[in-house]
Structure 1
Amino acid sequence: MTTPDVFNHNVPAESDFGYAQAIKSGDLVHVSGQFSLDGTGDFLHADDFVAQLKQTYANFDKVLDHYGATRNQIISQTLYVVNLRENARATSEGNRAYFGDHRPVSTVVGVAELTFPGQVVETSFIIDTKLTA
């Protein structure tokens, strides 16, 4: 039996809620919903969609670094967005800025609310570590 390669940001929510940020299974890395947290687990940028999305992607970059992966190895993302109609343009702009010319499959889901008051975006990913970076 193989021990999974697990990544955590080492923030309280991981033990409080009982989850891992990411787990590698074979060549795939499944990443839990990332959102706007600082290094101690404090939620940042309440109600500021653009700032939250930037911080969310910055946190995801830490996951990529752990697995030695690049954005070009992301094969799938799911975005959860509060007030999707209001935030649709910023979602598209932030996504294009983060991925550049790379085009993973993507699903955007409008939701009524997320975990923290003022949280307006969360995104999860799947990475294929065998893809050419």
Structure 2
Amino acid sequence: MVDAVNLPGVWAPFGAFSMAVIQGDGQVVHLKGQVSLDREGRVVGPNDMRLQVRKVLENIRNVLAAMGGQMTDVISLVHYATDIEAFMAAGDIRSEFFAAPYPVTTTVQVERLYRPELTVEITAIAEIPRSRFRRPGPATDAHHGSS
């Protein structure tokens, strides 16, 4: 069973996707690709890689926190960047959110993301220990549910 989760405090999905997916009895959490959007869906730091990397990682942290997770629970990341050099230059920002042992990562350069002012999208997989995990309450979004 997989439960789709959409959470308050993070921008609402606007298409056929969920903010996160909880696999099994709730330890493994798959987050959808996060972009630099605030709660109202506005782009934070248009065309600014450094500002966007920070906001994306804040969004990941907020989604995990809503389920009792922490950034140390992240086991895998996939980065999609429109400028790989600018993304790599933001490594100091990433180091503010992660400590050893670091999650496995894949980084690819893409031509563009779904909005031209977005420069980075990051997906994450986390394993939240059962002792901390809490299943979020029902979302108000129509995309919530099991599949």
Q: Which TM-score tier does this pair reach, normalised by the shorter chain?
A: 0.7 to 0.9
> 1:29 maps to what in 2?
29
Which among 12, 15, 19 is matched to residue 17 of structure 2?
19
What's the CA shift for 1:106?
Answer: 0.6
Larger RCO: Structure 1 or Structure 2 (Cα < 8 Å, ≥ 6 residues apart)? Answer: 2
Question: How many residues of Structure 1 are paired with residues of Structure 2 in the alignment?
Answer: 129
Percent of paired sites with the same residue: 25
TM-score by length of 2: 0.78
> 1:52 maps to what in 2?
52
Residue 95 of structure 1 aligns to a residue whose secondary structure is: helix
Residue 112 of structure 2 aligns to a residue whose secondary structure is: coil
Following TM superposition, the consecutive aligned residue runs of length 4 or more in structure 1 with deviations greater than 6 angstroms are none
When the two chains are superposed, the root-mean-square deviation of aligned CA atoms in Å is: 2.2
Residue 89 of structure 1 aligns to which amino acid in structure 2? Answer: A
TM-score by length of 1: 0.85
Residue 45 of structure 1 aligns to a residue whose secondary structure is: coil
What's the CA shift for 1:8?
Answer: 3.5
CA contact (8 A) 2:34 2:59 kept: yes
CA contact (8 A) 2:72 2:99 kept: no
Residue 17 of structure 1 aligns to a residue whose secondary structure is: coil
Cα distance in 2, alignment partners of residues 93 and 115 from structure 1: 26
> 2:68 maps to what in 1?
68
What's the CA shift for 1:102?
Answer: 3.5
Residue 85 of structure 1 aligns to which amino acid in structure 2? Answer: E
* Alignment map for 1:1-133 (pairs within 5 Å): 4=3, 6-9=5-8, 11=11, 14=13, 16-26=14-24, 27-90=27-90, 92-130=91-129
**Structure 1 residues without counterparts, runs of 5 or longer:** none
